[in-house]
Amino acid sequence: MAEKLQTITDIQRHLSVMLGRLWPPGEAAAQASAIIMEYTGLNRGAQLAFGDRTPEKEQLGRILAAAGRAAAGEPLQYIFGYTLFCGQRIEVGSGVLIPRPETEEMTAMIIAENGNFSGTVTDLCTGSGCIAIALSAAFPEATLVATENSPGALQTAARNISLTGTSVQLIAADILSQPPETVPVSAIIVSNPPYVRRRELSEMHRNVTEHEPHEALFVPDNDPLLYYRAIAAIAVARLEQGGALWLEVNEHLAAETAALLRRDIYENISIVKDIRGKERFVKAVRHGRQS
């Protein structure tokens, strides 16, 4: 098969057919282009403009190997070994949750409303470290702390912190059992904990359910807010006056999640929709904001 694939256009067409067995046509074509770009350096526009070019044999071999893994359902981020998040290259691999666009959107909101921030931020359930790293890069004068209980994720986060040159203090801790005093008093607490109910597993694509760590995704159907109760308790003890709590939440449980936050503690509790109009974030500001 490799001998018959001569040009970028040939390869694009072949990959689109391969991936089309798993994805709709538009997504299959987008993934095909992403694979070609990863190993040739040609973006989508360049692939169209220079479709008659012939890649080197080694490049073609890597393209076809990656496409074979993708066609079997493996996420491109695991195949490439990284993803981009708020301009930062974040390494990811099996056992570590792939950062989502929604998480990037929430992080961008925090950055946008906190220009020249120099206080303390705590990121609970940091995973790959993407949120903490992006905030550290945006707020170089701030103190960033991130907690995680997965040894594999802690190793990945530590490597990402080193590779990005950011300054984040990692704490090995499980928010379901850690004392609030494990984390510092913070002006911002942010978290993207597990929130997908087990009953929603059938609605998810196999590239997620067969490859990404279930412990970082799923919660019991009979207790879907267990992580948010723990986060709420930590925030009561460690979020400073006027500080902001940001949570990424299950779109079907935003109101229930917001209801966990006490009105006597927070002056403003709001549900924020993501770019697709889904109730994806909860934000709360603690009483006592300085004017």
Which residue segments constitute the domains of the chain, with CATH numbers given?
Answer: 2-72 (1.10.8), 85-286 (3.40.50.150)
Among 2-16, 149-163, 191-205, 260-274, name the one with the lowest average pLDDT.
2-16
pLDDT in the model for residue 209 = 78
Whole-angstrom CA distances from 5 to 39, 58, 128 are: 15, 13, 37
CA distance 25 to 42: 21
Backbone angles phi, psi at 286, to 5 degrees: -75, 145
- Record the tokens describing residue 47, joined without a space: 């692939």
Strand-pair category, 82-85 with 88-91: antiparallel
| Identity at 182, one-letter amino acid code | T
pLDDT in the model for residue 87 = 96
What average pLDDT does the segment 135-143 reach? 98
Is the model's pLDDT at 168 over the cut of 80? yes
pLDDT in the model for residue 3 = 46
pLDDT in the model for residue 214 = 85
Sequence-ordered strand ranges (E) for the chain: 82-85, 88-91, 120-124, 143-148, 168-172, 186-191, 196-197, 218-219, 239-248, 266-273, 279-286
Read off the pLDDT band of 95 (50, 70, 90).
confident
CA distance 117 to 63: 43
pLDDT in the model for residue 290 = 47
Whole-angstrom CA distances from 173 to 33, 70, 184, 185, 259 are: 40, 34, 13, 16, 25
What average pLDDT does the segment 106-119 reach? 96
What average pLDDT does the segment 166-185 reach? 95
Read off the pLDDT band of 289 (50, 70, 90).
low
Mean pLDDT for the chain overall: 94
Q: pTM score, two decimals?
A: 0.93
CB 142 within 8 A of CB 121: yes
Read off the pLDDT band of 66 (50, 70, 90).
very high
Among 45-54, 182-191, 235-244, name the one with the lowest average pLDDT.
45-54
